[in-house]
Amino acid sequence: PPTAFEPKPEVASTIVRIRPKAPPFETDMKLFEEVTRLIFLQRRKKIKNCLKPLLNGRASESSIPYADSRAEELAPEQINEIVLWLEEYGD
């Protein structure tokens, strides 16, 4: 509390503990984190352009879920759909 300090501060302090929640879906977390990192590194690019390094020409860009969306438009569940697609059709 502010009374524990001299001079007494004009604001009160609070310690907040943040605990990560488990994702609401089953996924390969390593791939999920890699995809999330890739799409947010260039968040204004479309998903199909961000994922080119992972595809190596093995799958059609037009078949990527949310290919014409941008990272900032996607919910975690939608990113997971991309991860599941990559597990099936990517490297």
CA distance 69 to 76: 14
Q: Identify the pLDDT of residue 58.
A: 64
Query: From the first residue on, what is the mean pLDDT of each consecutive set of 10 residues in the chain (91 residues)?
Result: 83 86 86 93 89 74 86 94 86 56
CA–CA separation, 89 vs 2, rounded Å?
A: 58
Q: Residue 63 has what pLDDT?
A: 81
8 Å CB contact between 50 and 71:
yes
